[in-house]
Amino acid sequence: MDKVEEFISRRWSHSDANWLNGNCYWFSHILCTQFPYLKQYYLPVTGHWIAGSSLVNKWYDASGAITPDEEAWQIDWIKQIDPKWFEHLMRDTKD
Distance, in Å, from the CA atom of 62 to the CA atom of 76, rounded to the nearest integer, reads 21
**How many domains is the chain partitioned into structurally?**
1
Query: How many Cβ atoms are within 10 Å of 72's Cβ, its own excluded?
Result: 18
pLDDT one-digit tens code per residue, 35-83: 999 999 999 999 999 999 988 889 999 989 999 999 999 999 999 999 9
CA atoms within 13 A on the CB side of 63: 9
Supply the pLDDT for residue 19: 74
**pTM score, two decimals?**
0.87
Give the strands of the sheet with 48-53, arranged side by side: 64-66, 58-61, 48-53, 39-43, 73-74
Domain with 44, as residue range(s), is 3-93
Supply the pLDDT for residue 22: 77
